[in-house]
Structures are given as structure tokens and as C-alpha cells.
Structure 1
Amino acid sequence: MNYVRTGLLLAGLTALFGAVGMMIGGQQGMIIALLFAGAMNVFAYWNSDAMLLRMRNARQVDDQSAPELVSMVRDLARNAGLPMPKVYVIENPQPNAFATGRNPENAAVAATTGLLQHLDRNEIAGVMAHELAHVKNRDTLTMTITATIAGAISALANFAMFAGMFGGNRSENNNPLGGIGMILIAILAPMGAMIVQMAISRTREYDADRIGAEICGHPLWLASALAKLDKGVHTIPNMQAERNPATAHMYIANPLSGKGVDNLFSTHPNMANRIARLQAMVNGASPRQQSPVAQPGPKKGPWGPAGTSVRSSRTTRRKNRPWN
């Protein structure tokens, strides 16, 4: 990821927050908004991951409650050279997943029950590797802060709408465009925040796909998972995400796609393009050699056959190269 570009986009998002504050409350409003944005950035750095997991009613799992999933994540984290993240499961029928945390030492990955039920073990490994790639790239901090500021801009825009409709002449003292200007802010500010989120999200998704394929050792595992996710998000709505669309960009697949026409802008690259890039890695690339993480086999329950380790044996590692 281009960190300079991402930093500039985050600065633009903060500036947008200040501009909305200025239109609502003049210079004093801008100063208050910028101070509030700075405080939010500090708060988001330390608390946004926990807030996001609580918002999604995520349940932490361990070796006793979800042994196959936790073992899989442990092997993938070892392949990626990362500390073991916390693992969460979200009761949601839509197949999806996301990662969060301010750094690799304080990271968490979360999978929905829909993902664990609709994907096989290899595909789940591809998805979890993608999320660990976000952790490795430190995308998680950027995107949680982005979600926090974007959500605040939407809240401030709603206040502007209220002030524009009922503030009367009082709004004209601070806003040269008057009540109409406040209503325009309410419409355009969230749209601007969404565009910035889109710009950050698309590059990081392609990078996470590539690095995730290297972590799990099989690009086609992730490619197959993305195809199923694309179908799942279009047929199974995610009402938790619909109620808080500012966090949609954090998922591996756009969770708002279940509503189709209601989502005018996509926070994710085209799924067909993502799959094509992963297929190209198999056909022409010679990436870093990794050991396979999961073994093909019949699926029994959400994480594979009971008692089957996701770690391959030494014999299998010698026979099956990661890009076969």
C-alpha cells in the first residue's frame, strides 16, 4: 500500500470534518470540529477495534470452543510471521470476515457463522490469510480510524440537515449559504467521506489478496472463496452492516451488496478482477514458497472434520507445493 497516499487521504477526511464544522459553526465550529477529530483519532487508535467487535456482537473463541478455526489461524499467522491474533465469530448468516486492531500485536480476525457454514476449509483458510495480510500491512488501524471519522462526518451531516431545516436565520450567521447550504452539506459530506473510503479501500484489497495468497500458499483457495462470497453478499443481507454502513469497507466482501441498488458506491474492487488477479498468480508468477495450511477433504461442520488438523504433514508438504 502507498502509505503516503493513504496518509493524505486520511488528512483529507479530517479536513472534510473540519470544513463541515466551519459551515455549521463558522471559524469556531471548524476549530471545535478539528479538535474533536484529533481526539477521535486518539480514541480510535486505542478503542476502535473493541468498539467494532462489540457493534457486531462478536464472540471470542479459543482452542476449546472452535479448535479447527483457531488452529488454522495459528498456522497462517506462523506462515505470515505474525503474532497469534485473537479470533472472533459473529452470528450472522452472510458469509464475510474482517480484521481489526491497532497493530499486529493487538490484532483480531473475525468470521461470520455464514462464512464458516458456506465455505470449505481451504476457502476459509484463504479468507483468514487475506485478513492476516491486512494485519501484516497494518491496514487495520487505517481502516478503523477511517470508519470512525466517516461515521462522525455522517452524524455531523445529519445535524447540519436538522439545522438547515429548522435553524432558520441562525444558520445564516455562520453559513454563507444559509439553510440550503446546510442541506447540501448533509448530502455531500457523507458522499465525500465515502469517496475517500473507496480510494483507501480498493488498493488495500488488491494487496491483501496477493499477500493472503502467499500466506496460505494457494491463490485459488482465496479465488474460490471470493466467488462464493460474491454470491453470498448478493443473496443474504447483513443487517448489522446496513445499520452502520461506515464500516462496510472493513469486510473482505462488501456487506451492503445485499441491498444492491441502495449502495451507489462500492468500497471494494470488482470481485471478478480480484479473482482474475489471483488466477494470474498461479499461471505466471513464482511467489515465495509456503507450506499448505489446509488439506482437501470432506467437510463436517463449520471448520472441517473433527480432530483433523489444518496443518499438513511433512510428507504432504514435500509432495504438494503451495502453488499446485
Structure 2
Amino acid sequence: MTVVKQNLIGLKANEFRHPLDLEATQSLQQFPGWDIAVRSVLGGVAEQFFYLDNVAASVQVNENQLPHIHKLLLEACQRLDLEVPELYIKQNPAPNAYTFAMRGKQPFIVLHTSLIELLTPEEIQAVIAHELGHLKCEHGVYLTLVNLVILATNLLPSWGVILAQSLQDQMLEWIRCAEFSCDRAALLAVQEPKVVMSVLMKLAGGSPTLAPQLNLEAFIEQARAYDQMSTSQLGELLKNAQNQQLSHPVPVIRAQAIDRWASSPEYQTLLERHQSSYNNEAEGKWRNW
């Protein structure tokens, strides 16, 4: 039996934003003016540069080019109540996806070919929705700040390295927290937690030949074993050290986080609230007709 997935009409970012993302964003906002400066100085140039690069060296997805992937994009945007950005496919052997939106004028998503080869269509939609989560939560400017500060760490004289490193650590912490919000966006689009967790499993240790053989339940057990390390002081210390310089939380942590949120009253209430909004709007349209 096919399950009809609902569109979350009127969905706001703060309805699904992870608390750690909210806390880390508020911490970054203690450096006033950075976001405005980046938007003003780099926004137009960066957008034009990436647009030209995408058009020159990628394949743009639309109704006439890879329409089955374009359909996945349209559905995800409808479910997250978001305008449709441009989507490009780029030849690259490293499975990855990323998004860019500096001023919101030319937002786009890029998927690597190796990622598409690794995933099922529903899993591809989860990845697209994850990237849409960055757009929904307006992460774009701070993602650029992360890259700029990392670059500055290598360019500043010795007296400035300590400050840059401190900001880098803070921004890496923010982006790790932001990824949890975007995983939630992926779940809201595909509305099946095992699809999102399967993506994370394949990114951790999959390949086009191994992917069909992977056991999701065994991966979930692996995530629980990793979580058990927090019961000892040494284990917690090693986990913190492992994650400190990463731009993304390790896959098992993300899988466990999405599993917990999918089982939470918060997630169920969110779906029910927007289902009610959807029914009311549909009824209103019917009456007007």
C-alpha cells in the first residue's frame, strides 16, 4: 500500500530547527555585522562565479533533463513549503552534495554523480531535502563564513591565528549543529526515518556494489554501541576529540538523532499540525470553487 506523503504548508524553519543549531547560531550572532559584510562584499560575486561554474561544468536538472530527479526536487520543495532552487549534477568520484544561497537570488544545489549512483531514488530525495534544509534555515551566509575563517587561519600573521582558530572552532561547532536541522528537513520530506538513516549508512561505508547488501538494523545497533561510549569519562573525551575538527557529526550520531526525533511527540505534533492546515486550506479551495 502506497503511503501518501503530506505537504507541510506554512512550515517554518524554527519548527524543526535542532536546539543545538539554534543555540550555536545565536552564539555566532554575537559577532555583529559579519553576515551583512559577507552578503554585501561577496554575495553578488560569489553567486555569479558559482552560476558560471555550474553552467559550464555541470548538468542542470529540469523537466527536460533528468526529469525523474527533477520530480524528486519538486516534491521535496512542496513538502517543505519552499521555492524551487536550481539543481545541478556534477561529475565527481567523492559522494557529496552541497548548496549555496548568499542573497537568496540564485540558490542552487549540486549533487555529485557518485552520490546518485550510491542511493535509491527516495534516498536521493532525502539528500536533496537535506540541502533544502540549509536554504529553509538560511544557513548560507554562515556556511561561507566558515570557509572564510578557515582560510584566514592560514593567512593571518601569528598574532591573529589564535583568534581565527577560536572562531573556526566555534563555526565548525555551528555547522555540525546545523547538519542536525537539515537531517530533520530530510525526514520531513521523505517522512520515513529509515530512508534518512540508510543514506547515512551508505555515506559511512557504502559503494554501488555494497549498498544493496548493507543491513540498516545492524547499522542502528552500531550507532547504539557508539552511544554507549559516553557512559565512561574516557569514552566521552575521545568522542569529543574525534568530532572537534569535523564539519559534520559522524554518521552514527546523525542516524541516532534522526531515529529519536522521528519517535518524538514533537515530530508527530508537527505533522499533525500541518496536516490540519493542509485540510483546512484544501476545504477552503473546494468551497471557493
Quick check: TM above 0.5?
yes
2:63 corresponds to 1:44: no
Query: After superposition, what is the alpha-carbon deviation per residue over 1:51-87, rounded to whole angstroms, capped at 9, x for unaligned?
Result: 4566785443322222111111011111111111100
1:282 & 1:38 partners in 2: Cα distance? 36
Contact 2:146–2:168 under 8 Å retained in 1: no
Change (3 A) 1:3 1:273: closer
CA deviations on 1:2-34 (whole Å, 9 max, x unpaired) are: 66752542654989xxxxxxxxxxxxxxxxxxx
Who is 1:176 aligned against?
A: none
* Contact 1:96 1:111 survives alignment (8 Å): yes
Q: How many residues get paired?
A: 217
The answer to whether the 8 Å contact 1:13/1:193 transfers is no
Tell me the distance in 2 between the aligned counterparts of 1:63 and 1:43: 34
Correspondence for 1:278 among 235, 258, 281 = 258
Match of 1:288 in 2: 271
Closer/same/farther in 2, CA of residues 196 and 210 from structure 1, 3 Å limit: same
Report the alpha carbon displacement of residue 224 of structure 1 after superposing the two structures with TM. 0.5
* Offset of residue 88 of structure 1: 1.1
Aligned mate of 1:226, from 200, 210, 232: 200
Distance of 2:32 and 2:104 partners within structure 1: 25
Q: Deviations over 1:90-141 (max 9, x none)?
A: 2111111112113556321111111111111111111111111111111123
SS of the aligned residue for 1:288 comes to: helix
Letter paired with 1:77: C
Q: What is the Cα-based RMSD across aligned positions, in Å?
A: 3.5
Q: Residue 7 and residue 207 in structure 1: after superposition, are their counterparts in 2 closer, same or farther (change >3 A)? A: same
**Other-structure match for 1:203:** 177
With the length of structure 2 as denominator, give the TM-score of the two structures.
0.63
Which of 1 and 2 has greater Rg?
1
Preserved contact between residue 129 and residue 215 of structure 1 (Cα < 8 Å): yes
Gaps of 5+ in 2: 1-16, 208-242, 276-289
For residues 199 and 49 of structure 1, do their structure 2 counterparts lie closer, same or farther at Cα, with a shift above 3 Å needed? Answer: farther
Q: CA deviation at 1:228?
A: 0.8
Give how far 1:231 is off: 2.3
- The residue type paired with residue 6 of structure 1 is T
Kept in 1, the 8 Å contact 2:146–2:172? The answer is no
1:115-172: per-residue Cα shift (whole Å, max 9, x none)? 111111111111111111111111123212432x325513532xx3xxxxxxxxxxxx
Aligned ranges for residues 126-141 of structure 1 at < 5 Å?
126-141=126-141
Number of the residue aligned with 2:187: 213
List alignment gaps of at least 5 residues for structure 1. 16-36, 161-181, 234-262, 292-324
Amino-acid identity (%): 20
In structure 1, C-alpha distance between the alignment counterparts of 2:192 and 2:46, rounded to whole Å: 32
Structure 2 partner of 1:153:
152
Q: What amino acid sits opposite 1:131 in the alignment?
A: E
- 5 Å matches for 1:185-264? 185-186=160-161, 188=162, 190-231=164-205
